[in-house]
Amino acid sequence: MPIQEQVIPLLLNSARDVIGLAQTGTGKTGAFGLPLLQMINPELKAPQVLILSPTRELCIQLGAELVKFAHYLQGITIATIYGGDDMQRQLLALRNGVQVIVATPGRMNDLLNKRKKIDLRGLQTVVLDEADEMLKMGFQEELDAILEQTPQSKRTLFFSATMPPEILPFANNYLKDPLKICVGSSNSGADCVEHYCYCVRSEDRFLALKRIVDANPDLYGMVFCRTRDETKEIADRLIASGYNAEALHGDLAQAQRELVINKFRLRNLQLLVTTDVAARGLDIKDISHVINYNVPEDGNSYIHRSGRTGRAGKAGISIVIINLKEQFKIRRIEAKLRKTFTFLAVPGGKEICEKQLLHLVDRLQRIDVDHQEIDKFLPAILEKLQGLDPQDLIKRFVSLEFNRFLEYYKDSTDLRIPVVPNGERPTFQPGKETPGPKRNTGKLRSGGEEGFTRFHINLGHYDNLTPRELISLINRCTRSSNITIGKIELRKDQAIFDADERFQAKLLADFQKIEFNRKKVALRIYTPTSTAGR
Cα separation of the two ends of the chain: 57
Q: Which residue has the higher pLDDT, 135 or 399?
A: 135
Indicate if 193-349 has the same CATH topology as 2-182: yes
Q: Which residue has the higher pLDDT, 408 or 195?
A: 195
Burial label for 242, CB within 10 Å (0-12, 13-18, 19+), is: middle
Angle at the Cα of 364 (from 361 to 370), degrees rounded to 5? 175
Lowest model confidence (mean pLDDT) among 36-40, 157-161, 270-274, 413-417 = 413-417
Picking from 126, 130, 127, the residue whose alpha carbon sits closest to that of residue 139 is 130
Over residues 217-263, the pLDDT tens digits come to: 999 999 999 999 999 999 999 998 889 999 999 888 888 988 999 99
CATH architecture group of domain 193-349 = 3-Layer(aba) Sandwich (3.40)
CA dihedral 109, 113, 115, 118 (to 10 degrees): 80
Q: Where are the domains of the chain?
A: 2-182, 193-349, 354-409, 452-525
Share of residues in the chain with pLDDT > 90 (%): 46
The pLDDT value given to residue 211:
94
CB-based contacts of 345, cutoff 8 Å, min separation 6: 198, 416
**Superfamily the domain 452-525 falls into:** RRM (RNA recognition motif) domain (3.30.70.330)
Over residues 42-75, the pLDDT tens digits come to: 999 999 999 999 888 889 889 999 999 999 999 9
Name the β-bridge partners of 18.
Answer: 157, 179
Lowest model confidence (mean pLDDT) among 44-48, 230-234, 408-412, 425-429 = 425-429
Q: Can you name the CATH fold of 2-182?
A: Rossmann fold (3.40.50)
Q: Which residue has the higher pLDDT, 499 or 2?
A: 499
Over residues 355-392, the pLDDT tens digits come to: 888 888 888 888 888 888 888 898 998 888 888 888 88
Over residues 466-489, the pLDDT tens digits come to: 887 788 788 888 877 678 888 888
User: Contact at 8 Å (CB) between 159 and 20?
Assistant: yes
Q: What is the reported pTM?
A: 0.59
The pLDDT value given to residue 184:
61
3-state helix, strand, coil in the chain (%, to 5): 40, 15, 40
User: Contact at 8 Å (CB) between 293 and 321?
Assistant: yes
**CA 225/CA 531 separation, integer angstroms:** 31
pLDDT at 411 over 70: no
The pLDDT value given to residue 99:
97
Name the β-bridge partners of 221.
Answer: 271, 289
Instruction: Please state the rounded mean pLDDT for residues 277-303.
Output: 88
Over residues 390-403, the pLDDT tens digits come to: 888 888 877 776 77
**CA 23/CA 29 separation, integer angstroms:** 12
